[in-house]
Structure 1
Amino acid sequence: MKNRDIIVEAGSKVLRSTPRKLNLVADLVRNKKVSFANVQLRFCEKKAAGFIMKVLNSAIANAQNNYGLNVDNLYIKEILIGKSLTLRRVYPKAMGRANRMSKFYSNITIKLKEIV
């Protein structure tokens, strides 16, 4: 009998997108089947969908190659999106002043589990 509690994980670090924008797209596919999530991400017009789709495809490949799981039985157990580093930039203003601009980066981790 196969062990059904296998959790497959894939992640990506230092993505040039804010966690807030990534969470909007991640909420579309959280706790959904992998096949449904792929279709949702393919037709989503946000840039963050491309980042999440790459990590999802990596997790699917890990499930197939490392554990021999069937793709049709997988669902997204967790999508974790966290803050990474922040770049500080100078933004010139009037009369010789300067303000600071922050450019945020993110981390993504996706965990897949087989439907029992």
Structure 2
Amino acid sequence: MINQNTKIKATGRYLRLSVTKANRILDQIRGKSYQEAKLILQFLPYRSCLEIAKILDSAVANAENNKGLQKQTLKIETAFVNQGPKMKRFQPRAQGRAFPIHKPTCHITIGLVSRNDK
């Protein structure tokens, strides 16, 4: 028998997004059902929505294939972002100088829980 509060998670690592921009999207979908979150991600105009939607779909696929749950019963319990390593590059400047450029990466984790409305 399936536990009533089964927890499933999916993680996207080393994504070329900044932490603050990813967190802005995750705040919108935290606590929502899968259908609501998918709809929100579809219509928000940010680039990070595509990556977050892929991670959400991966978590749902984990729930369906590994735990045998339906996507109608899934709810986003946790959604958080951690800072990844920064890629360090240099931009040439005048008189032989170099200007540092830091390209941020992040790790996004989405945790789902099954809510049975029976």
Q: Specify if TM > 0.5.
A: yes
Mark the runs of 5 or more structure 2 residues left unpaired by the alignment.
none
Deviating above 6 A after TM superposition, structure 1's stretches of 4 or more consecutive aligned residues are none
Stretches of structure 1 that go unaligned for 5 or more consecutive residues are none
TM-superposition CA deviations, 1:16-72 (whole Å, max 9, x none): 111111011111101111100000001111110000000000001111111111211
TM-score normalised to structure 1 length = 0.94
Normalised TM-score (structure 2): 0.92
Residue 5 of structure 2 contacts residue 115 of structure 2 at CA under 8 Å; is this kept in 1?
no
Give distance in 1, aligned partners of 2:55 and 2:79.
Answer: 10
Q: Which amino acid aligns with 1:49?
A: C
Within 1, Cα distance between the matches of 2:85 and 2:12? 13
1:96 matched to which residue of 2? 96
RMSD: 1.2
- Count residues with an aligned counterpart: 116
Mean Cα deviation higher: 1-10 or 20-29: 1-10
Identical positions, percent: 33
